[in-house]
């Protein structure tokens, strides 16, 4: 007996196979039961005709319940009406695991209920599509950096210090000493860029922010490339290339999933180089013209990002943010130190910031002054300062938030659907 | 001027290029300075001849210090004596960042000193080789699972419960509620396998073990595949295939790094299928014959693993460990419930366990009884039990510890060198 999967079904036309999966829907019309079977790799219609089966088996099939796990033996038949081109003419069915009163039914469920049942909700067609795209985007990102010679490395999760103050950090008792869960691997990325030239880290990062917005998770995945000798211009180009690569591959390889999500394909097709590039000062002026009340040299709020990105049909790069709002390690523009060699990429359609990065300050003296100015504990950054004591170089990089990127690509409202088990302000289960 | 990297130097024979990197060694013989430049992608000898340069420049080169960052302009010359086949005839050098009294010199340094300077130590030839192999192994692992249709997913880091008691967990205050850092994504992996069929997670995991051995890290990376309907036999075969794939690719693509590490290549070449498979009872008998004092149905100690693996020239699979020593979710052998459908793979040459896995219990009743028996909080596992209430299936998987695997492949003694910034009992910096 050929055990196979729905994804591979085309290779078995007119052959008898066994599929194993879960029953998602059932419909009966007198002498025929139509069963929708999903096995994780796809969904197929299985047709159980009374004329082909014993009366006992045909009757049993009538009692099968949603999300029962089944082994279905049958013959693969080409069928033009099928989305996958095939259906299965059932010869035998055995129940592997029963399912009584599956909680997620065809009726509307509230988000709280669905999140409580996240371990089951991920079986639904829509969540399957989102998380499949998430998995593939992760792979596209890795392949992109590998093909450009960036070495895959890992920054530590336990970090003794923080780049930007400790108020949004999760502290952990590390055998009597307080450490924090990382918010960014960047400082470590710089050390590794000086050993390997070009590196990327891709791991979970943590923010203990008391925010309950549709864009915030306490635990999210971030890819952070860093390259020695890279300039801000090269950094912008790299991030632009990455986003074009992601959308191009999603459009080529995730069509089925985008259809399920009813994603506007044309919006993704517009993600082509070059992205509009705006100096912060110009973006600021435009925002004020558009009615924003953004203060001088202030960071963009979510509302500002929405207003601004609605002016364009593709992601935009805002660069040279005011130095005052940026972290201590951000390099100032030598020609106008009011602004920094920083950049953000804002996704279109109101999705806001998905990339933030820039060039790092390479002068030891400037960096020491910045640490003092930010009142950060100098001792914690002694190792980081060593990167300037011993063969300092220009260095640049960025961080791309995976979940916000997936939300944008999938065209979904809330980041909670973009990660298998989201951790939010009031949600750490299941 | 052509900015390029040492890895790409072959494309520039007889052309003038600029390389940017760090000075690792310098040797002078009267009218010639020999400079070793590394740029992360490789190392090249740069030859600065007095006859080619101004007296001022030639003299300045004589004062260059270890780990200064330099831009070196020169002509690429084929040279058969060079390990990379080329050297650079220097035309000009400019200093990007100076380096005074670089702490890591040619003399012997103790491991404590080197670990304190880990951010610089990773620049050394040996650490560069180990971490390059680590990065590539991560990629080989991902490619292996992708090519077999396993979806890349992520398990949460913050987990409300633990599979195996809380004594070795790091607790975190999650807005007033206690959660723990994950020790394994497996339970979540099972939920995802029932949604996606075959999945793998690859992320950091945490153990708050007060162990100071050469095999223990507090924070380490683990890949965990899980597949619905997979049997123990298929699980063993999958893990065997993975290890053969890793060693095959390392041998094909990381020769230079293995040479630097003086790795015994022949030991890796022996990693071929089939791996010897031993039932626990047979392994136990053999251990007693070999002089171990292992108690009845006891787990193997590090010493036992060493003795046992020394009997074989390749990894070995020990299966059917006693149920009593295994976690609550491990399926018992229906033919002899004293033993479980579990397996470990032990690396040769004394490296010990690198893979642990097995089949999961699918019966709701058996699992409830096991949770009660282990005195675990039933409420925390309610969602996990749902996976048995709604369409239970056989499921199997394993976890492979990245750092132990890298230690074995690289032939190095201590896992602390297998991760960029190790976290150990008394080490959470830099």
ipTM of the complex: 0.97
CB pairs under 8 A between A and B: 261
Cβ pair A142:B146 closer than 8 A: no
Task: Note the pLDDT of residue A111.
Answer: 95
Residue of A nearest to B394 (CA): A96
Q: What is the mean pLDDT of residues B361-382?
A: 94
Cβ pair A393:B131 closer than 8 A: no
Centroid of chain to Cα A286? 30
CA distance A217 to A168: 12
A103 in a structural domain: no
Domain CATH for B45: 2.40.50.140
pLDDT digits (tens, 9 = 90+) for A10-43: 999 999 999 999 999 999 998 999 999 999 999 9
Q: Give the strand pairing for B43-49 and B86-97.
A: parallel
Average pLDDT, chain B: 96
CA distance A207 to A132: 25
Q: Which residues contact B298 (CB under 8 A, 6 or more apart)?
A: B325
CA distance B358 to B331: 8
Q: DSSP letter at A137?
A: H
B323 in a structural domain: yes
Q: Does A154 touch chain B (CB under 8 A)?
A: yes
A123-to-A62, A82, A258, B287 alpha-carbon distances in Å: 23, 21, 17, 46
Q: Are residues A304 and A376 in the same domain?
A: yes
Cβ pair A153:B131 closer than 8 A: yes
Q: Are residues B134 and B15 in the same domain?
A: no
Domain CATH for A292: 3.30.930.10
CB B292 within 8 A of CB B333: no
Q: Are residues A122 and A264 in the same domain?
A: yes
Q: Does A229 touch chain B (CB under 8 A)?
A: yes
Q: Are residues B22 and B150 in the same domain?
A: no
CA distance B103 to B109: 10
Task: Note the pLDDT of residue B164.
Answer: 63
- For residue A292, the distance in angstroms to the closest alpha carbon of chain B comes to 33
Q: Does A221 touch chain B (CB under 8 A)?
A: yes
Q: Which H helix or E strand runs over A196?
A: helix A186-196
Pick from A364, A285, A289: nearest CA to A318: A285
Residue of A nearest to B126 (CA): A195
CB A320 within 8 A of CB A342: yes
Q: Does A114 touch chain B (CB under 8 A)?
A: no
Q: Are residues B57 and B205 in the same domain?
A: no
If you write DSSP's letter for every residue of A210-235 in order, what string do you get?
Answer: ---STT--SEEEEEEEEEET--HHHH
Given B139, B157, B198, which is nearest A152 (Cβ)? B139
Q: Does A169 touch chain B (CB under 8 A)?
A: no
Q: Are residues B349 and B400 in the same domain?
A: yes
Q: Are residues B239 and B303 in the same domain?
A: yes
Q: Are residues B395 and B304 in the same domain?
A: yes
CA distance A20 to A37: 8
Beta bridge partners of A151: A199
For residue A40, the tally of other CB atoms under 10 A from its CB is 27
Q: DSSP letter at A123?
A: T
Residue of A nearest to B426 (CA): A175
A129 in a structural domain: yes
B402 in a structural domain: yes
Pick from A226, A200, A189: nearest CA to A143: A200
pLDDT reading at B163 higher than 70: no
pLDDT reading at B187 higher than 80: yes
Task: Note the pLDDT of residue B161.
Answer: 75
Residue of B nearest to A203 (CA): B203
A105 in a structural domain: no
CB A351 within 8 A of CB A407: yes
B426 in a structural domain: no
Pick from A334, A148, A332, A162: nearest CA to A226: A148
CA distance B36 to B346: 40
CB A259 within 8 A of CB A250: no
- For residue A190, the distance in angstroms to the closest alpha carbon of chain B comes to 9
CA distance A359 to A342: 6
B174 in a structural domain: yes
Pick from A363, A161, A378, A195: nearest CA to B104: A195
CA distance B218 to B321: 25
Cβ pair B210:A175 closer than 8 A: yes
**Three-class HEC string of chain B:** CEEECHHHHHHHECCEEEEEEEEEEEEEECCEEEEEEECCCCEEEEEEEHHHCCHHHHHHHHCCCCCCEEEEEEEEEECCCCCCCEEEEEEEEEEEECECCCCCCCCCCCHHHHHHCHHHHCCCHHHHHHHHHHHHHHHHHHHHHHHCCCEEECCCCEECCCCCCCCCCCEEEECCEEEEECCCCHHHHHHHHHHHCEEEEEEEEECCCCCCCCCCCCEEEEEEEEEECCCHHHHHHHHHHHHHHHHHHHHHHCHHHHHHCCCCHHHHHCCCCCCCEEEHHHHHHHHHHCCCCCCCCCCCCHHHHHHHHCCCCCCEEEECCEHHHCCCCECECCCCCCEECEEEEEECCCCEEEEEEEEECCCHHHHHHHHHHCCCCHHHHHHHHHHHHECCCCEEEEEEEHHHHHHHHHCCCCHHHHCCCCCECCECCC
Given A170, A191, A198, which is nearest B119 (Cβ)? A191
Secondary structure (3-state) at A252 = helix
Q: Are residues A247 and A207 in the same domain?
A: yes
Task: Note the pLDDT of residue A124.
Answer: 97
CB B236 within 8 A of CB B276: no
Full residue range of the structural domain in which residue A156 is found: 118-418
Q: Does B423 touch chain A (CB under 8 A)?
A: yes
For B366, list phi and psi in degrees, rounded to 5: -60, -40
Spans of chain A below 70 pLDDT: 1, 162-165
Q: DSSP letter at A360?
A: B
- For residue B62, the distance in angstroms to the closest alpha carbon of chain A comes to 17
pLDDT reading at B6 higher than 70: yes
Residue of B nearest to A200 (CA): B135
CA distance B330 to B370: 9
Secondary structure (3-state) at A158 = strand
Centroid of chain to Cα A276? 23
For B196, list phi and psi in degrees, rounded to 5: -115, 0
pLDDT digits (tens, 9 = 90+) for B304-347: 999 999 999 999 999 999 999 999 999 999 999 999 999 999 99
Q: Are residues A66 and A215 in the same domain?
A: no
pLDDT digits (tens, 9 = 90+) for B383-396: 999 999 999 999 99
Residue A104: cis peptide before it, omega within 30 degrees of 0: no
A13-to-A9, A78, A89 alpha-carbon distances in Å: 7, 7, 11
Q: Does A174 touch chain B (CB under 8 A)?
A: yes
Q: Are residues A159 and A205 in the same domain?
A: yes
Pick from A132, A95, A120: nearest CA to A7: A132
Q: Does B307 touch chain A (CB under 8 A)?
A: no
Q: Which residues contact B380 (CB under 8 A, 6 or more apart)?
A: B160, B161
Q: Does B429 touch chain A (CB under 8 A)?
A: yes
- Kindly list the residues from chain A whose CB atom is less than 8 angstroms away from the CB atom of residue B179: 428
B178 in a structural domain: yes
Q: Give the strand pairing for B158-159 and A219-228.
A: unpaired
Beta bridge partners of B35: B26, B46
Looking at chain A, the number of H-run helices and the number of E-run strands are 13, 17
Q: Which residues contact B365 (CB under 8 A, 6 or more apart)?
A: none
Q: Are residues A245 and A385 in the same domain?
A: yes
Centroid of chain to Cα B360? 26
Q: DSSP letter at A73?
A: E
Given A41, A160, A170, which is nearest B197 (Cβ)? A41
Quote the number of domains for chain B. 2
Cβ pair B391:A160 closer than 8 A: no
Given B40, B153, B158, which is nearest A228 (Cβ)? B40
Q: What is the mean pLDDT of residues B176-186?
A: 95
CA distance A271 to B16: 38
């Amino acid at each position: 007996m050929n055990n196979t999967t729905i994804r591979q079904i085309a290779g078995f036309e007119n052959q008898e196979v066994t599929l194993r999966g879960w029953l998602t829907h059932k419909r009966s019309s007198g002498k025929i039961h139509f069963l929708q079977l999903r096995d994780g790799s796809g969904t197929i219609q299985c047709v159980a005709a009374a004329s082909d089966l014993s009366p006992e088996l045909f009757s049993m099939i009538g009692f099968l319940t949603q999300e029962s796990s089944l082994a279905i033996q049958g013959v693969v038949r080409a069928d033009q009406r099928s989305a996958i081109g095939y259906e299965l003419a059932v010869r035998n069915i055995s129940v592997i695991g029963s399912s009584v009163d599956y909680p997620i039914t065809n009726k509307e469920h509230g988000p709280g209920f669905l999140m409580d049942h996240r371990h089951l909700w991920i079986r639904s067609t829509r969540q399957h599509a989102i998380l499949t795209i998430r998995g593939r985007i992760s792979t596209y990102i890795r392949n992109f950096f590998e093909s450009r010679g960036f070495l895959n490395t890992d920054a530590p999760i336990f970090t003794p210090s923080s780049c930007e103050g400790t108020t949004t950090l999760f502290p952990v008792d590390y055998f009597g000493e307080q450490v924090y869960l990382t918010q960014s691997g960047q400082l470590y990325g710089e050390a590794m860029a000086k050993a390997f030239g070009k590196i990327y880290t891709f791991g979970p990062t943590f923010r203990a922010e008391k925010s309950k917005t549709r864009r915030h998770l306490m635990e999210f995945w971030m890819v952070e490339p860093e390259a020695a000798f890279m300039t801000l211009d090269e950094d912008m180009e790299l991030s632009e290339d990455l986003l074009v690569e992601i959308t191009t591959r999603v459009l080529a390889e995730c069509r089925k999933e985008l259809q399920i999500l009813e994603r506007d394909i044309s919006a993704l097709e517009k993600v082509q180089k070059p992205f509009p590039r705006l100096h912060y000062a110009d973006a600021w002026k435009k925002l004020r013209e558009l009615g924003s009340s953004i203060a001088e040299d202030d960071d963009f709020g979510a509302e500002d990002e929405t207003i601004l990105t609605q002016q364009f049909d593709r992601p935009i790069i805002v660069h040279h943010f005011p130095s005052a709002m940026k972290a201590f390690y951000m390099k100032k523009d030598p020609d106008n130190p009011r602004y920094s060699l920083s950049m953000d990429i804002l996704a279109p359609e109101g999705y806001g910031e998905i990339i933030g990065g820039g060039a790092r300050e390479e002068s030891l003296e400037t960096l020491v002054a910045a640490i003092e100015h930010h009142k950060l504990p100098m001792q914690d950054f002694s190792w980081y300062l060593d990167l300037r004591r011993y063969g300092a170089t220009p260095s640049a990089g960025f961080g791309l938030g995976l979940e916000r990127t997936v939300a944008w690509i999938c065209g979904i409202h809330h980041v909670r659907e973009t990660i298998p088990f989201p951790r939010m302000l009031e949600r750490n289960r299941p």
